[in-house]
Amino acid sequence: MFEQKGGKHESAHQPVLYHESLKYLQAGSTGLFVDGTVGAGGHAFGILSNSNQKTKLLGLDLDPQAITIAKKQLAQFGNRVILRQESYATINKIINELGWGCVNGIILDLGVSSMQFDRAERGFSFSKTAALDMRFNPRANQTAADLLNSLDEKEIADIIWKFGEEPRSRKIARIIVQERPISTTTQLAEIVQKAYGKKQLKTNPATRTFQAIRIAVNHELEVLELGLRNALVSLCKGGRLVVITFHSLEDRKVKLLFKTESKGCICPPEQIICNCEHTAIVKIITRKPVIPSEEEVNTNPRARSAKMRVVEKI
């Protein structure tokens, strides 16, 4: 079992699937690793504390607050850790800039961190009144409010349906347009509640809409597609990519790409002669996704929807 050696893990953010990710990442081995979504440094701490002094880690995150916290959290590892305020979509470029060539392991934890939800001013939470922001990178131009106040009704409905799989997307979009300008988190949450009326749900009805708007603001699925491909390019032979997702849209993309890149031929089944010239570049390590234990979910309810998939470069 992997432990958090070398000091107390003081981050408020509890890493999801912590022990499982370190196991599949083979974090005890010597090498070069990347945490592409370093957050508060939880997984990065585990990788560095369970490896020897020759192991180095590159931590990336668009959130400057995350970089500040990770810098403090990982300070004891000195020059073994390099932190950059960058998107994991550029992972191969940064690895090349460092002269690393390739790396032995990459982890991408795609969930919004506790610190982002818990800081009301970031605008991710529907339970706290704040400006409707939702940007991972505060330097990005468009906030969630900008998006909702500029798109037409159909465009808003399409976003809420496509990225949130929200059955009442059209009604929610119609009310949004009627009540614009939209400026706060609770204002948007109240609009969703109005679309649902008195119907009782197990989860807050705003959950899917907030997810959809956040994905659209941060272009998360486009970044994921590019990031996965650049991560695979960046792995050394035998290196592993560990990806933790938190909703079906992400998991579907990861599953499909891993399946495609583990196959030799990707021609349609009805095609007799192969002419795709595709070759497998990875083998799938986790045939089924790894999910949190009941104990972890009880301790950290935000882990309940997490799924982890792993591939190895061949």
Q: What is the mean pLDDT of residues 205-210?
A: 92
pLDDT at 70: 95
Whole-prediction pTM value?
Answer: 0.89
Alpha-carbon separation of residue 30 from 84, 180, 222, 238, 265 (angstroms): 22, 55, 32, 13, 34
Structural domains of the chain, ranges and CATH numbers in brackets? 18-115+220-313 (3.40.50.150), 124-218 (1.10.150.170)
**Token pair belonging to 130:** 């704040």
Q: Which of 88, 33, 37 is nearest to 55 (CA)?
A: 33
Q: What is the mean pLDDT of residues 218-233?
A: 96
pLDDT at 113: 62
Q: Which residues contact 90 (CB under 8 A, 6 or more apart)?
A: 60, 230
Q: What is the largest CA-CA distance in the chain?
A: 60
Q: How many helices (H) and strands (E) does the chain have?
A: 13, 7
pLDDT band at 14 (very low <50, low <70, confident <90, very high): low
Given a contact cutoff of 8 angstroms between Cβ atoms, the answer to whether 143 and 181 are in contact is: no
pLDDT at 118: 56
pLDDT at 115: 58
Specify the higher pLDDT residue, 271 or 183.
183
Q: What is the mean pLDDT of residues 185-195?
A: 94
Is the confidence at residue 126, as pLDDT, over 60?
Answer: yes
pLDDT at 21: 96
